[in-house]
């Protein structure tokens, strides 16, 4: 099977975004390809809340998994006549068609899905997070076996019932196995975001408390880049809007100075809007956002320096 992993995909996409952003003389344009690609028909009536793309069958093109909210009244699914389950669509020469893989077809409140090689065998496995309200379904894990996704959720500690939302993929302990950080919302899961350590053989364990992440950390979106360029993945959770830096000993410490940077105020104690997602962008030169990014980086460096000094007993 042709090797193609998530890291490669991200690099390819990032390179494309970067070069496009810098080519100011060539405006980016899009055309609506939902009908010509077949998505319009395959996803009729869908109430999508999650999507993952990756080359599941190893033929060199990107396939698509779509996760949905399937807990609404039938009349809400216009064009489908009732709740639509999650679906895996295979890319066949630019057209997406139903994979026919029944293991990945189920009805839930799916809010996160990611294709990632979790067992380092060169193919993309699938992890899906769900939250509970009217429908209660555990998170699901699928092993890629020759392009077929096999359900290996049973008895897996990463496949519990929670308020699952977005999924972060990172190797927090640097052991070469990718770990999963799953946001938990505060409405259906008590605001518990969970870090699942990859133990190998597609088995996981909850190490949230062990690494120093708080018990209450409500999240909807997540990014896990190396913010302070020390070679270790850091964590930003949107909704809580909190940033955690890797300390290098397999633990995390909150970058407290970043709270004011990312903070938002609620009007008169009434929550009307909360940050719903998080994304990392490569900023072009002279972009006003770059200035803010530089300010943040300086604050993070100040924070890291203060923490180092504190550790050395130089300050209290
Ligand atoms: Ca493919
Ligand atoms: Ca794999
Ligand atoms: Ca790891
Ligand atoms: Ca870092």
In this structure, the chain runs to a length of: 316
Q: Which two tokens stand for residue 66?
A: 């779509």
Question: How many angstroms is it from 279 CA to the middle of ligand 1?
Answer: 25
| pTM recorded for the entire structure | 0.82
Q: Which protein residues have their CB within 5 A of the ion that is ligand 1? A: 55, 57, 59, 61, 63, 91
Report pLDDT digits (tens) over 226-275.
999 999 999 999 989 899 999 999 999 998 777 777 776 655 655 556 67
Question: How many angstroms is it from 117 CA to the middle of ligand 3?
Answer: 12
Report pLDDT digits (tens) over 53-93.
999 999 999 999 999 999 999 999 999 999 999 999 999 99
Residues 6+ apart with CB under 8 A from 117: 5, 6, 123, 124, 125, 178
What mean pLDDT, rounded, does the chain reach? 84
Question: How many angstroms is it from 183 CA to the middle of ligand 2?
Answer: 23
Q: Which two tokens stand for residue 140?
A: 């699901």
- Which ligand sits nearest to residue 247's alpha carbon? 4
Question: How many angstroms is it from 159 CA to the middle of ligand 4?
Answer: 28
- Which ligand sits nearest to residue 61's alpha carbon? 1
Question: How many angstroms is it from 158 CA to the middle of ligand 3?
Answer: 14
Question: How many angstroms is it from 257 CA to the middle of ligand 2?
Answer: 38
Q: What is the pLDDT of residue 144?
A: 98
Residues 207, 195: contact at Cβ < 8 Å?
Answer: yes
Q: Which two tokens stand for residue 316?
A: 């209290």
Question: How many angstroms is it from 70 CA to the middle of ligand 2?
Answer: 28
Kindly state the helix (H) or strand (E) to which residue 110 belongs, with its residue range. Answer: strand 110-116
Question: How many angstroms is it from 12 CA to the middle of ligand 2?
Answer: 20
Residues 238, 278: contact at Cβ < 8 Å?
Answer: yes
Report pLDDT digits (tens) over 114-142.
999 999 999 999 999 999 989 999 999 99
Tokens 């690494």 correspond to 211
Alpha helices in 234-287 (DSSP H): 258-262
**Residues of the chain above pLDDT 90, percent:** 68
Question: How many angstroms is it from 7 CA to the middle of ligand 4?
Answer: 17
| pLDDT grade for 14, boundaries at 50, 70 and 90 | very low
């Amino acid at each position: 099977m042709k090797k193609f992993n998530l890291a490669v995909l991200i690099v390819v996409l990032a390179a494309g975004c970067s070069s496009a952003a810098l080519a100011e003389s060539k405006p980016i344009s899009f055309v609506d390809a939902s009908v010509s690609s077949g998505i319009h028909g395959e996803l009729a009536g869908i109430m999508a809340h999650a999507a993952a793309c990756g080359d599941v069958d190893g033929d060199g093109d990107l396939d698509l998994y779509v996760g949905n909210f399937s807990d609404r009244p039938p009349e809400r699914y216009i064009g489908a006549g009732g709740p639509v389950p999650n679906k895996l669509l295979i890319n066949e020469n630019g057209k997406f068609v139903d994979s026919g893989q029944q293991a990945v077809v189920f009805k839930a409140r799916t809010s996160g899905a990611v294709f990632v090689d979790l067992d380092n065998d060169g193919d993309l496995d699938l992890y899906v997070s769900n939250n509970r309200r009217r429908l209660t379904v555990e998170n699901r894990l699928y092993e890629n076996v020759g392009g077929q996704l096999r359900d290996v959720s049973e008895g897996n500690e990463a496949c519990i019932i929670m308020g699952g939302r977005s999924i972060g993929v990172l190797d927090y302990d640097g052991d070469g196995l990718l770990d999963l950080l799953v946001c938990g919302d505060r409405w259906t899961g008590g605001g518990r975001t969970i870090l699942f350590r990859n133990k190998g053989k597609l088995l996981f364990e909850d190490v949230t408390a062990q690494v120093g992440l708080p018990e209450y950390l409500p999240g909807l979106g997540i990014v896990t880049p190396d913010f302070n360029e020390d070679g270790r993945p850091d964590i930003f959770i949107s909704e809580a809007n909190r940033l955690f830096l890797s300390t290098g000993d397999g633990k995390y410490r909150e970058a407290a100075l970043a709270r004011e940077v990312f903070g938002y105020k609620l009007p008169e104690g009434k929550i009307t809007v909360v940050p719903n997602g998080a994304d990392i962008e490569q900023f072009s030169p002279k972009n006003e956002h770059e200035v803010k990014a530089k300010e943040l980086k300086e604050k993070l460096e100040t924070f890291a320096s203060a923490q180092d000094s504190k550790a050395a007993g130089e300050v209290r």
